[in-house]
Chain A
Amino acid sequence: MAVVIRVEKVSKQYRLGTISRRMLYRDVQSGFARLMGRPDPHEKIVEGAANGSVPGENPDYLWALRDVCFDVHQGDVIGIIGRNGSGKSTLLKILSRITAPTEGRVFLKGRVACLLEVGTGFHPELTGRDNIYLNGSILGMTRTEITRKFDEIVDFSGVEKFIDTPVKRYSSGMTVRLAFAVAANLEPEILIIDEVLAVGDVEFQKKCLGKMNTVAREGRTILFVSHQSAAVENLCKRGIVLKNGSVQFDGTQTGAIAHYVNETTGHRGCLRDRRDRKGNGQVRVTEIEFRDRSGRTITTARSGDDIDVCLHFESQAPTARPDLSVGISIKTYLDAPVFLQNNTLAGERFAEFLPESGTFICRLGRLPLPSASFRIGFYILSRSHKGEYLDAMENAVELHVQGGDFFGNGLSPGITDGVALVEAGWRLEATEPPAEMAADRQHAPTSPQAT
């Protein structure tokens, strides 16, 4: 497959702080020095290509990207994963030519369309029709192209009735649908997508995913910035993990997720320094670990397998007979709760003295979650102290579910069909027809089943 994007040692530096009089003074100083052929007194001195505010490096500057290299082949569907501030968005901005790199080069082959946010450039006073033309032109389509695609766009958006109504009268959902419809029908060779799927209702999201699947199958190239939206993850074949502005991993999507999870949750004590917790701190959960049946630590769980969620804790002042309630909550990436489980529901009581350190283990039997990423939160509260929290954290860690065989027949519905998997049985029962209808049916020339 031909290479369509080549990113060659791309770096991007940002200047921190505000632009002020002092800045003007320094600009003038630098400019004057250059004019006189003297070295710039504000030239940064970079020793070693470390990232961020490493001591010795000019603290006024930040490398958002550092020597990023990768190739993208035609037809690749790539997810770019990374934590906030890892440089994902900067990379996309460079690829889509919104900003130029500080160093390095990017080679592109074919038209690039970038969906950083749908509906950019919509004008509220104009009608839907006018906005299709306006938005299409902004995204780089010619007038004739838009006219050719017009019906398809309107059809996809589902707003045909309001196409001659000013967009300011649209509901937000309609605006988004119209905007996405324009973008989806762009037919670029390379499509760059960021935070698009977080909008619209579920049905529309599904439609979008379907469209992207089609686009990908047509041999066009798609780059996603994955915000761990599970649906997107399933679409990607290849994943790139960014950390502090450099490529940490480049390989299969599953591998990338595993790497990312390891990176974020794989080491001990990772919850120890977290501040987004509540509770009086008598007990602190220091780590959440997932184990499979055989007790091995896992980074990705499989649907339908038993897994143990282990809350490793430290207890500072062992309270007498605490009567604890310990629970975990599972949410999707759109923050919709999937389920909650605690020791009371499971019929366990933790009423003995707490050791100084230990582990609460929750066995989730036949994990009823489809392939996706989920957010795990936990809480520990003392029921004997009016339900006071000892420790609690929402979105403590991520649980990645990948593969597995919940139903035992190889079928696996995606997260778009539902956030949980439920065991069920199906059977067929015939309804006994009333007596006279049964008599009618006997005279009918053909039975209903035959038609």
Chain B
Amino acid sequence: MTEDATSPAALAEEPIQWTEIITPHLGWFDLRLREIWQYRDLVWQFFRRDFVSSYRQTVLGPLWFVLPPLFTTVVMAIIFGRVAKVSTDGVPHLLFFLLGVTAWNYFASCLTRTAGTFTGNAGLFGKVYFPRLTVPVSVVLNNLATFGIQFAIFLVIFLYQWSAGAPVEPNWRIVLVPLLLVQMGALGLGLGCLVSALTTRYRDFGMLVGFGVQLWMYVSCVVFPLSSIAPNLRWVFILNPMVPIIESFRFAFFGKGVIEIWQLALSFGMSGVFLFIGLLLFHHVERTFTDTV
């Protein structure tokens, strides 16, 4: 009945209102971010799935959201504060490390978990189409929620210590905190997308992220303040976009540190660039990655 449908004559019909045209290549800059918005319900469902299922069938349940950073902080306070006697600009050790760890964990988790987007979801991605970016976006939102819980713990301890007369001076830069969160999310997402795109071809990048993030922490002023670095070497650290972020966090709450606004602006710009490159590459890979994974 339709045997003639493929004849050239049939192809020359009047134009049809197609809703979707599948082509071998999309433009590099055709990111289709609107599609993510159309699939916002899916982002929410992924977010919910990860949040609800993460501590099912555990005895301590939601307590697991706050235990790891607290333990890490205590260990750091002992090793770096007591044993190694690292300077904390006079800030109480617990507060100093807790803020650094909470902020760093948010970024690190964004990066490591989005980095596994393609390899970790290969089964799902190979079976059904939806905008792949919904997965890393929901991961970032998920981490943001976790950060919120952990940050609340920090705030409680902070307010308690502050009222008890600890030498901290919260100041106007606190208004920058939401910006810092967006920036860390963007940087984590950008780098994560970048790595996940590269991992589809060469798994080496997946390996790299695992310990790379750990090493990165030690040069990101999480366990020491920037002020403890010799002034003529500080510019090297400023090139690491995470240093101004962590330092800005500390400056906002403790009023101590040597970070300046232009340095934060530089870091902000770098995060934006990484996000852009990451999204480009992610989008370039998502259409054919099932062939190589």
Contacts and interface: CB of A to CB of B under 8 A. Distances in A.
B83 to A, nearest CB: 41
Interface stretch (B42-50, B95-103, B219-227): B42-50
A339 interface: no
A418 interface: no
B24 A70 contact: no
Interface stretch (B52-60, B108-116, B149-157): B52-60
Contacts of A103: 24
Contacts of B130: 138, 140
A109 B3 contact: no
A76 B2 contact: yes
Given A130-B52, A138-B42, A250-B2, A98 B128 contact: yes
Given A109-B18, A120-B124, A137-B45, A125 B56 contact: yes
B216 interface: no
A121 B128 contact: yes
Contacts of B126: 98
Contacts of B46: 134
Nearest to A142: B41
B20 interface: yes
Interface in A65-108: 69-71, 73, 76, 93-108
A201 B95 CA distance: 61
Contacts of B48: 130, 134
B54 to A, nearest CB: 9
B234 interface: no
Interface in A395-412: none
A8 B24 CA distance: 12
A123 interface: yes
B13 to A, nearest CB: 8
Given A69-B6, A120-B123, A252 B1 contact: yes
A139 interface: yes
Interface string B3-27: 1011000110100111111111100
Contacts of B23: 100-101, 105
Interface residues of A, number: 58
Interface in B122-153: 123-130
A3 B4 CA distance: 13
A110 B53 contact: no
Contacts of A15: 291-292
Interface in A233-286: 237-238, 247, 250-252
Contacts of A94: 22
Contact of A14 (B49, B57, B201, B291): B291
B201 to A, nearest CB: 6
A134 B20 contact: no
A140 B129 CA distance: 9
B288 interface: yes
Contact of A96 (B3, B17, B129): B129
Contacts of A252: 1
B287 interface: yes
Nearest to A95: B22
A143 interface: yes
Contacts of B125: 98
B2 A130 contact: no
A274 B39 CA distance: 50
Given A24-B202, A101-B24, A109 B127 contact: no
A101 B22 contact: yes
A208 interface: no
Contacts of A437: none
Contact of B22 (A108, A126, A247): A108
Contacts of B39: 137, 140
Contact of A73 (B5, B49, B290): B5
Interface string B281-293: 0000001101110
Contacts of B18: 6, 107-109
Nearest to B55: A125
Contacts of B20: 97, 107-109, 112
A19 B1 contact: no
Contact of A70 (B6, B45, B128, B292): B6
A90 to B, nearest CB: 10
Given A96-B128, A116-B128, A8 B11 contact: yes
Interface string A297-331: 00000000000000000000000000000000000
Given A126-B49, A138-B128, A71 B2 contact: yes
Contacts of A98: 125-129, 290
A142 to B, nearest CB: 5
Contacts of A108: 18-22
B170 to A, nearest CB: 40
B22 A100 contact: yes
Closest 9 CB pairs of A and B: A71-B5, A106-B22, A97-B129, A125-B53, A137-B42, A100-B287, A120-B127, A108-B20, A137-B45
Interface of B: 1-3, 5-6, 10-11, 13, 16-25, 39, 41-42, 44-46, 48-49, 52-53, 56-57, 123-130, 201-202, 287-288, 290-292
Given A19-B202, A100-B22, 15 more contacts: A3-B5, A71-B6, A97-B22, A99-B291, A107-B22, A108-B18, A108-B20, A116-B128, A121-B128, A125-B56, A126-B49, A133-B45, A138-B42, A247-B6, A250-B6
7 contacts: A97-B22, A100-B23, A108-B22, A109-B19, A143-B44, A238-B1, A250-B5
